[in-house]
Amino acid sequence: MKKLLVLLMTGLFLSGCAVYKQLTPEPGLSPQEQGFLELKAKDKNLVLKKEKKYYIAFPAPAEKNFYLVLKITDKDKIQTSLTAKLDKESIPGDKIKDNAYDPKTMSVYPVTSADSVYYWLIEGVPQEMALQLEYRYVPQWRFKWENRHAELRQAFRQNVVDHNIYRTIGVTFHFEGFDFKKVTDSVSNHLAELKKAYAELMDIESIFPPSILNSKDQAYQDFVILKKQFEAEIAFQGDYLFALDFFRIEIETRGDHVAFMDHVNDFLSYFRQKDRLIANVVQEAQTLLTNRLNLAVAFFDIRLKEKNDATPLDKEYYRTAEIRKTDSLWMLAGTPISESYSAFFRFVTSFDDRGTGLIAAREETAKINAAVVQDTALPADDYFASVRAKAAAVAVPEKLGQEFGKYAGFICTGKLNAAIDLFRADVNRAQSQYALADSLVRQVNAFRAQKDHSSALGILKQNLSLTFLVDKYRSLDRISVEEQARTVRASLANAAWGGAETGLFKLNRDKNFIDMPKIAALKEQTVSDLEDSLYIKVDLVTRQRVDAFCEEQWKTLDNVDSLYTDSVFLPVHDITFSSGSKTALVQRKEKLVAHLAKLKENEFPEKAIKLLYDEFLKNPDDSGVLKARAVVVHGAHYKGTDRDIAMRVAECNPKSAKLISKPTVYRRVFALPTTDKRQGKNLYFVRLNINIDSEAKFPVYDINIKLPKEVAQNAAAAQWYEKLMMNNKLLKNEGRFTISAPTAASNWECQITPVQMVKDKGNYLDIYFYHNSFKAFALSVMAQKPIIKKN
């Protein structure tokens, strides 16, 4: 009722602007499954007008998987289609496929209860015509079965094969001369056709409504019978083909044991499914398999007999992987394994396993040994215990004994057993060496802990055959040398000269080294360096003592001479060690003594002179005379060649001439008392050496002397100098020779002119004057060339 109301409302709504005009049959349409019903409008055919478009609304079925079947007269004159949607009676939805077996007169549309209504559309009406239409709602399976069951039965009948061969295999039928290909192809084709038809059946079955199952519906009953027939024949043909394949392989590999072995997986698969086969077929297969495996033993025995080494069996040549699977094959086939095959099988697998195991053991042992060798760190006490444990854990394969029967006499068996024996011996030897090493390491390490590397090396040196051990300690050679050197250096650092020398002696004589030739150079160099260090240290400490002495004593102004007899200038230690000869020792000691002499005669006076001179220059009025005299005394002990030192001494020694070598340059010189009255009048003296390069053959100079005011200030009243001597000739203020009196106006400068010089020789000007003081007077002296004037 509701559906009708909807249809009515829809018709009313769309009537105003619709493209398609609804045709409404009377009586109304029923979606129930039944036969064809004629569609009329009050017993009259519906009329279609030319070029008009129409639709008829078919209600949806109550269940899914139904067909709406329409039988249409003049179907070919009009265009029809079915859709589940028609908006505003104008816009149709997707067209539903027409599954009609006879499309000229009939339309078959799948419909379902999921939709509410279907619109059958009529278009292309060529002329006004009456619509003659029958309709039917029918389940799809039924419609298909009604249309297909005859063809399906026919397909079954045409593809059934002969079952006799299969049923007589091994009984009356044997495969000699059998055309496997032809039969197999034929059966395979039939099987394919069966499966194709069977799939169609399965397709129909899949749309069975639940209500049809186990029902008495004849169509359904027919369907079930046909399906079972199909299933039985398909199973048979599968088994038949399965069996044929096994026998085909057996036939094809006869005489080729290797090829036969290559199908071992096929055989395993075959026997795993032997239950699907009938007994005679299984039995025939077992017979054939047993026969073939036994024949394979003989074949491979030949190959094994020819093998003359201990290496594991070649997988390809001996098909070891396949042979290993025959164990399961025997079992799956369900036949007792033959004794010969069993012996063969054990030998092959044992030889292969032990050969492989030997290699693995060797590799493992080699790995352990290599690790020992490669581990360059100095071993801990338990290092070799651990190595021993690892070595012991390596599984050494057992030999192949008489239990392998004839195989025990094979060459390869002998080879393998010999290799195992040899390897075992190696393992035992290594074990004993590691045990010894374990013991030695603990002793060596004990000495090392005591820094007694030499004793440790002594132990190792007695076990040089344990190269894996000794090699680990090769660095000990260097460590021993370095440790001994360190000890000596520590002694040197602590000024423990005796200890240092003892250490040096010990190191020099030490022969406990793993690789003496290799360490010899280092040892000798170390000894040499330490020996040098000893000498240098003694020298240095002596020097430091002297330096300290100098630092304290350079200021000494009184009794300076006594400084040079101080014991500080003797070595702090009398060295007895020498890596060289006695002569070398003596030479080195002499060198040291010479060096000390140098300290005494060179560096000390040099230092004292420099410092005293600097002090003197800084403040000549502060004990200047004493400092200058001290410089002179130091200078007397100075045997160096430093010109600056000599110059300083000369500057402080009034008797040393002060060189004036450049004209016009004022040079400061010191006049110092030659007498020693701390109170009262002293005679001062300064000597100048005027040696100036000149183009003249007979150079003449003006000598200008700037005097301290306290020396010159009374020059107007009394001659400031006692005497002036030039090259030991007295200079007098007479004639052409002028000695001008210094005045305040001349800045207390006195000029002596013209002073005749001897060319290219020293010209010594001695200045003597008295002064009531005891100090160093700084004078400034300059020489310049006088000039000729025209007027």
Partner 1 sequence: MKKGIIIAAVVLAAAALLYIFVFSKNLSGRIVMPYIAHQKPRIDPHVPSSVPLADKLDEVVFDGLFNVSANKSGIVYEDGLGEYMGMDKNNVVSVRLKPKKRWHKSFMVTMEKDKIAVNQKKNIYFMAKDLKFTLRRIQKLGSLSPDYILVSQAVKDFDFSGPDENDEILFQFKGDRIWSENDVKEVLSFKIIPAESEMDAPEYTVGTGPYLKAGEYKENIYFTKMPEAGATIPFVILRPFIDNSTYTTELKNRNLNALLSTPFGCISPILMDAKAYFYKSSIATCFFALLYNVERLTLEQRSELRKLVSNKKIVERFFRIGTEQQRNIANYRGAGNNYAEYLNYSIFPSSSYYVEEKIVTPLHIAADDRPNLSVLPDTVVIQTCVNYDLREELSELIDILNDPSVTSGKIKALAVQNEDLRSGNYDAVLVPITGYRSNFLFDLYEVLLREPDFNLHRINLATAVNPSGATVIDDRSFTSDKNFSRIDLEVSPEKENFKKLLDYVYGFMSTSEIGDKQAYAQYIDQLDQEIALGSWLFSLPSLAYFSTQFDNNTVDLYGTASQLSTIEKWQEKAGK
Min dist CB 540 to partner 1, Å, is: 49
| Interactions with partner 1, residue window 577-616 (CB under 8 A) | none
Find the binder of partner 1 among 397, 605, 624, 699 (CB under 8 A).
Answer: 699
Taking CB under 8 A as the rule, which mask of x and - marks residues 530-549 in contact with partner 1? --------------------
Query: SS3 string of 654-718?
Result: CCCCEEECCCCCCEEEEEEECCCCCCCCEEEEEEEEECCCCCCCCCEEEEEEECCHHHHCCCCCC
Should residue 694 be labelled a site residue for partner 1 when binding is judged by CB under 8 A?
A: yes
Phi (first) and psi of residue 782, to 5 degrees: -140, 140
Find the binder of partner 1 among 224, 392, 700, 716 (CB under 8 A).
Answer: 700
Find the binder of partner 1 among 42, 697, 728, 730 (CB under 8 A).
Answer: 697
Should residue 698 be labelled a site residue for partner 1 when binding is judged by CB under 8 A?
A: yes
Q: Please work out the total of residues on this chain that contact partner 1, with binding judged by CB under 8 A.
A: 24
SS3 744: coil
Beta-sheet pairing, 79-83 with 117-123 = antiparallel
Min dist CB 767 to partner 1, Å, is: 21
- Structure tokens, 543: 């020097």
The Cα 266–Cα 272 span in angstroms is 10
Should residue 729 be labelled a site residue for partner 1 when binding is judged by CB under 8 A?
A: no
Query: SS3 string of 173-204?
Result: ECCCCCCHHHHHHHHHHHHHHHHHHHHHHHHH
The Cα 784–Cα 779 span in angstroms is 16
Q: Could you report how far apart the first and last alpha carbons of the chain are, in Å?
A: 165
Min dist CB 663 to partner 1, Å, is: 4
Should residue 754 be labelled a site residue for partner 1 when binding is judged by CB under 8 A?
A: yes
Considering the complex, state which of residue 463 and residue 738 has its C-beta at the smaller distance from partner 1: 738
SS3 753: strand
Considering the complex, state which of residue 624 and residue 699 has its C-beta at the smaller distance from partner 1: 699
Considering the complex, state which of residue 745 and residue 787 has its C-beta at the smaller distance from partner 1: 787
Should residue 788 be labelled a site residue for partner 1 when binding is judged by CB under 8 A?
A: yes
Find the binder of partner 1 among 5, 302, 735, 745 (CB under 8 A).
Answer: 735
- With contacts defined by CB under 8 A, name the span among 120-128, 332-340, 420-428, 695-703 that binds partner 1: 695-703
- With contacts defined by CB under 8 A, name the span among 14-22, 370-378, 510-518, 780-788 that binds partner 1: 780-788
The Cα 693–Cα 732 span in angstroms is 26
Considering the complex, state which of residue 290 and residue 784 has its C-beta at the smaller distance from partner 1: 784
- With contacts defined by CB under 8 A, name the span among 78-86, 230-238, 476-484, 752-760 that binds partner 1: 752-760
The Cα 559–Cα 591 span in angstroms is 29
- The amino acid that residue 575 corresponds to is I
SS3 12: helix
**Number of alpha carbons in the 13 Å side-chain half-sphere of residue 584:** 9
Should residue 150 be labelled a site residue for partner 1 when binding is judged by CB under 8 A?
A: no
DSSP-H helix ranges across 375-410: 383-392
CB 80 within 8 A of CB 122: yes
Considering the complex, state which of residue 340 and residue 784 has its C-beta at the smaller distance from partner 1: 784
Beta-sheet pairing, 749-756 with 738-739 = antiparallel
| Interactions with partner 1, residue window 635-674 (CB under 8 A) | 663-664
Considering the complex, state which of residue 414 and residue 754 has its C-beta at the smaller distance from partner 1: 754
- DSSP-assigned letter for residue 44: B
- With contacts defined by CB under 8 A, name the span among 357-365, 386-394, 717-725, 783-791 that binds partner 1: 783-791
Should residue 757 be labelled a site residue for partner 1 when binding is judged by CB under 8 A?
A: yes
- With contacts defined by CB under 8 A, name the span among 126-134, 176-184, 678-686, 751-759 that binds partner 1: 751-759
Min dist CB 706 to partner 1, Å, is: 13
* C-beta atoms surrounding 706 within 10 Å: 18
Considering the complex, state which of residue 566 and residue 693 has its C-beta at the smaller distance from partner 1: 693
Considering the complex, state which of residue 649 and residue 783 has its C-beta at the smaller distance from partner 1: 783
The H-or-E segment that residue 159 falls in is none
Cβ neighbors of 93 (< 8 A, separation 6 or more) are: 83, 84, 85, 86, 87
Min dist CB 598 to partner 1, Å, is: 41
CB 37 within 8 A of CB 138: no
- Structure tokens, 29: 């349409």
Should residue 730 be labelled a site residue for partner 1 when binding is judged by CB under 8 A?
A: no
By CB under 8 A, name the binding residues for partner 1.
663-664, 692, 694-700, 735-736, 754, 756-757, 782, 784-791
